[in-house]
Amino acid sequence: MTCRELADFIIDYVDGGLDADVLTQFERHLTRCPNCVRYLAAYRTSIEMGRRALVEDGDAPATEAGAPADLIDAILAARERTRTR
């Protein structure tokens, strides 16, 4: 697996949705590539910071149902663009 392929699969990896074969390749790549380990850590940090940013005065963390539709559409469009490259 290349670094670019890892980036393409990172969302599914974090969500636990990778097939066993791809998961094995993904995790093998992480054992050999410190840059991708840092990228994954930064990705997870970004997700957590986004969740925290949407919590105000003890409100429950934002969920997909609570996210603005245009934000969800933009994220999905960006994800699709990266997969078709």
Domain boundaries, the chain: 3-83
pLDDT for the residue 49: 83
CB neighbour list of residue 31: distance below 8 Å, 6 or more residues apart: none
- pLDDT one-digit tens code per residue, 1-45: 999 999 999 999 999 999 999 999 999 999 999 999 999 999 999
Question: pLDDT tens digits, residue range 52-76?
Answer: 776 655 555 555 556 677 777 788 7
Q: Residue 21 has what pLDDT?
A: 96
Token representation of residue 65: 């149902």
CA pseudo-torsion sign 39, 44, 45, 50:
positive
